[in-house]
C-alpha cells in the first residue's frame, strides 16, 4: 500500500494488519515523495512516485535500490508495470503520456510512443475531438489492461485517449456522455468502462479499443461522482464514490444496487482493488 511521505505498508494476512516499511533509498532531505504505483513480477518489484523517483527490488521488497531517472523525462511517473518473462523488464508511463520500456533493469529505456500528446492533439484538434483545445498537458487517470493497452482521461475530463502496442501516438476519443469523465478502466472481458462526474457508469459493449458502443448501466448515484469501479470477476463488480457511496453489480455492470456497508463512512471512497479474492477500498 503506497502513500505520501514515502509511505509503504505491507501485509502478510490478507490486509488484516499492516507493517510500515522504511526505504532508505527514498530518504532525501527536503523531499517528500508521493509513491504513485507499485508492481511485482515474482520477487522483482518496482515503485514510481512524485517528484520523479524510481525504486527497484529483487528480493520481494526486503530491500530497495534507487535508479536515476532522466531530468528530461516528459511528465511525472504515474504507472509502472513489471513485465513477466526475463528479469529486469518493466514499462513506465508518465502523466503526459510518455511510455518507456526497459529490459535491462532500467539501465536503458526505449520509447514506445513517438509523439507527445500535445503534438497529437495539435494535429488532430480539427478532426472533431471536443475539448481537445482545453488540454492542460496531463492525464488525471491512466489504466493498463492485461493485454498492454492503455486508456487515459484528460485532466479536465473533456475527452479520453487510448494506446495499443505498435501505435506511434495516442488516439483521442470524444467522451460518450454529456458529463465530464472521472475515471476509466477495464472489465475482465477486456471492455472499457467509464464513470462521469455526475455519477454515471457506462460500459463498452465491444471488446478492446477499436470499436465503441457505450451503454449506460442505470446506476443511481444520487448525484455523487463515481470515482472507481472494480471487478471481482466477470459478474461481480463494485463502484465507489463521494460521501461513502458504494454500489454492487452481480451481472457484469449492467445493473447496480446500493451497498449500505459504507453508509457510516464519512469520507470519499477513491479506489477499489481485488487481490486473490480479497477486496480493498481506499478512501
pLDDT digits (tens, 9 = 90+) for 103-118: 999 999 999 999 888 8
Asked if pLDDT for residue 134 goes beyond 70, the answer is no
Grid-cell match 533509498, residue found: 25
Give the per-residue pLDDT at 221.
87
Asked if pLDDT for residue 223 goes beyond 90, the answer is no
Q: CA-to-CA distance for 27 and 24, rounded, in angstroms?
A: 5
pTM of the model: 0.92
Contact between residue 56 and residue 64 where contact means Cβ atoms under 8 Å apart: yes
HSE-up of 227 (CA within 13 Å, CB side)? Answer: 18
Asked if pLDDT for residue 126 goes beyond 60, the answer is no
Asked if pLDDT for residue 87 goes beyond 90, the answer is yes
**DSSP codes joined into one string, the chain:** -B-STT-BEE-SSTTSS-EE---GGG--TT---EEEEEEEETTEEEEEEETTEEEEESSTTSS-EE----TT-SS-EEEEEEPSSSTT-EEEEETTS-EEEESSTTSS-EES--S-HHHHHHHHGGGT-TTGGG--S-EEEEEE-TTS-EEEEETTSSEEEEE-TT-SS-EEEE-SSSSPEEEEEE-TTSEEEEEETTS-EEEEEEESSS---EEE-----TTPPEEEEEESSSS-EEEEEGGG-EEEESSTTSS-EE-GGGTT--S---EEEEETTEEEEE-
pLDDT category, 127, cuts 50, 70, 90?
Answer: low
**Using one digit for the tens of pLDDT, what is the confidence trace for 180-213?**
999 999 999 999 999 999 899 999 999 999 899 9
Cα distances from 81 to residues 42, 58, 163, 164, 209, in angstroms, run 12, 15, 15, 15, 20
Question: If 0-12 CB within 10 Å is exposed, 13-18 middle and 19+ buried, where does residue 46 land?
Answer: buried
Identify the sign of the CA torsion 84, 281, 270, 218: positive
Q: What is the dihedral of CA 149, 153, 155, 159, to 10 degrees?
A: 130
pLDDT category, 276, cuts 50, 70, 90?
Answer: confident
Give the per-residue pLDDT at 119.
81
Grid coordinates of 189: 472481458
pLDDT category, 131, cuts 50, 70, 90?
Answer: low
Amino acid at each position: 500500500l503506497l502513500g505520501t511521505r514515502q509511505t509503504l505498508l505491507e501485509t502478510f494476512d490478507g490486509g488484516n494488519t499492516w507493517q510500515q516499511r522504511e526505504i532508505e533509498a527514498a530518504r532525501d532531505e527536503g523531499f517528500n515523495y508521493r509513491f504513485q504505483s507499485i508492481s511485482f513480477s515474482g520477487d522483482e518489484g518496482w515503485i514510481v512516485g512524485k517528484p520523479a523517483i524510481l525504486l527497484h527490488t529483487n528480493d520481494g521488497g526486503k530491500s530497495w535500490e534507487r535508479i536515476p531517472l532522466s531530468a528530461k523525462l516528459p511528465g511525472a511517473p504515474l504507472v509502472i508495470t513489471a513485465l513477466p518473462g526475463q528479469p529486469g523488464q518493466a514499462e513506465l508511463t508518465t502523466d503526459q503520456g510518455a511510455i518507456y520500456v526497459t529490459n535491462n533493469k532500467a539501465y536503458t529505456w526505449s520509447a514506445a510512443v513517438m509523439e507527445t500528446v500535445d503534438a497529437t492533439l495539435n494535429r488532430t484538434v480539427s478532426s472533431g475531438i471536443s475539448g481537445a483545445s482545453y488540454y492542460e498537458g496531463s492525464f488525471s487517470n491512466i489504466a493498463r489492461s492485461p493485454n498492454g493497452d492503455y486508456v487515459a482521461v484528460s485532466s479536465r475530463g473533456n475527452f479520453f485517449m487510448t494506446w495499443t502496442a505498435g501505435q506511434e501516438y495516442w488516439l483521442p476519443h470524444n467522451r460518450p456522455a454529456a458529463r465530464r469523465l472521472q475515471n476509466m478502466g477495464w472489465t475482465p472481458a477486456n471492455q472499457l468502462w467509464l464513470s462521469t462526474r455526475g455519477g454515471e457508469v457506462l460500459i463498452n459493449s465491444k471488446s478492446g479499443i477499436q470499436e465503441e458502443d457505450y451503454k449506460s448501466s442505470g446506476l443511481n448515484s444520487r448525484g455523487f461522482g463515481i470515482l472507481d469501479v472494480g471487478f471481482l470477476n466477470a459478474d461481480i463488480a463494485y463502484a465507489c464514490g463521494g460521501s461513502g457511496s458504494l454500489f454492487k453489480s452481480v451481472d457484469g455492470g449492467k445493473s447496480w444496487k446500493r451497498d449500505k456497508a459504507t453508509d457510516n463512512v464519512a469520507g470519499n471512497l477513491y479506489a477499489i482493488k481485488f487481490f486473490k479474492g480479497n477486496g480493498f477500498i481506499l478512501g
